[in-house]
Structure 1
Amino acid sequence: MAVDPEFVEHVLDLFSGLGPLRTGRMFSGVAVYAEEDAMFAMIAASQVVYMKSDETTRPAYEAAGAEPFCYTRGTGERQVTSLMSLPDSAMDDAAEALDWARLSLGPAREAAARKRAEKARKVARKAAVG
C-alpha cells in the first residue's frame, strides 16, 4: 500500500515551520527530513506518522499515548522504539505537531551525525586500501 500523496502534503504542511523539508523512501512509507539529512519523521503506508525518538524523548511520546512503529517479519513482530507515533491531537494542530517535530530533531540530528561519521570511516578505509 502506498502513502496517499494528499496525506504526505498535509504532514509536510504540519511541519513546515521547521523550514525546508524533503522526503525520501523508507520501508513502505515516506521519510521526512529537515536540515538536509536529519530524518525526524516517517509517514507509514498505514497513514500513521512516526517521529524519531531516543531514550530521552521516548517518555514524552509514551506519556502522550504514542506507540512504537511495528512491523512483522518471518521471525515475528518487531518494535522500533526509535520511531514513535505522532499523538493524534497533533494531526490537526500545526503548533503541536511542530513542538513534536522540534523534540524529534535532537535524536534525528544525532542519528544523521552517526551516519555521516560511518560513511566517512568507510571512505577512509576504502582510500587506505585503494
Structure 2
Amino acid sequence: MNDSGFVSHCLELLSPLGRTSSRRMFGGHALYIDDLCMALIIQDTLYLKTDDASRPLFERAGCRPFTYAGKRDEVHVMSYYTAPEEAMESPAEMTPWARRALGAAVAARAKAPKKKAAAAKAPASKVAAKKVVARKAPARKAVASKPAAKKTAKP
C-alpha cells in the first residue's frame, strides 16, 4: 500500500471517533481526531498514543513502542505503541484501541502546562510578539566635536 493509501486507511479506521485529519511530520504523519493528535504513522506503521493506564493493555496485546535513536546513540521511547494487527482490519476492531489512544491524548493535553496551552490557543502574531525580547540600544560614546569655524563675510 502506498504512503497516502495507508494514511487514508488509518484515517478510515479512526473515523468512528470523530473528524479525522493528518499532517506530515518528521518523515511520517500525525493523525488527529477533532484536532487532537492521538496517533502517528512512521514507515507504514500506525502508532497509537498511550499513557500509564493504557500502556499495559498495549503491551499484553504484543504491541511495540515507537523508539528512535538520539544524537549520542541513546534510544528514546515515546508514548506511542503499535496498533494490534487485528485492529488494522476494520473500524470496529480499531475502535476500542483508538478510544484508549484518544483518552491518553486528552489526559496529556490536560497535564500540559497552562502557559504552553495558552500559547497554543493564541494567534501566531501574539505568540511571536511574546517571544520578542526588548533590548536597549547600545550607549554611544560622546565624541568631542570642534566648534564650527565662523565664516566671516568679506566686504
TM-score range, shorter chain: 0.7 to 0.9
Aligned residue for 1:26? 25
Letter in 2 for 1:19: G
What pairs up with 1:52-91 in 2 under 5 angstroms? 52-91=49-88
Any gaps of 5 or more consecutive residues in structure 2?
135-155
Whether 1:9 and 2:3 are equivalent positions in the alignment is no
Bigger Rg over Cα: 2
> Could you say which structure has the greater relative contact order, defined with CA pairs below 8 angstroms and 6 or more residues apart?
1
- More displaced 10-residue stretch of structure 1: 23-32 or 47-56: 23-32
What's the % identity of the aligned pairs? 38
Closer, same or farther in 2 for the Cα pair 1:34/1:61, shift >3 Å? same
Any gaps of 5 or more consecutive residues in structure 1?
none
Letter in 2 for 1:11: C
Aligned residue for 1:41? 39
User: 1 or 2, which has the higher helix percentage?
Assistant: 1
Q: Secondary structure at the match of 1:23?
A: strand
Q: Is the 8 A contact 2:47 2:83 kept in 1?
A: yes
Q: Secondary structure at the match of 1:15?
A: helix
Aligned residue for 2:145? none
Shift of 1:121: 6.2
Whether 1:108 and 2:105 are equivalent positions in the alignment is yes
- Normalising by structure 1, we get a TM-score of 0.82
CA RMSD in angstroms comes to 2.7
- Normalising by structure 2, we get a TM-score of 0.70
Shift of 1:27: 2.1
**How many residues get paired?**
125
The whole-number CA distance in structure 1 between the counterparts of 2:94 and 2:75 is 26
User: 1 or 2, which has the higher strand percentage?
Assistant: 1
The whole-number CA distance in structure 1 between the counterparts of 2:101 and 2:4 is 23
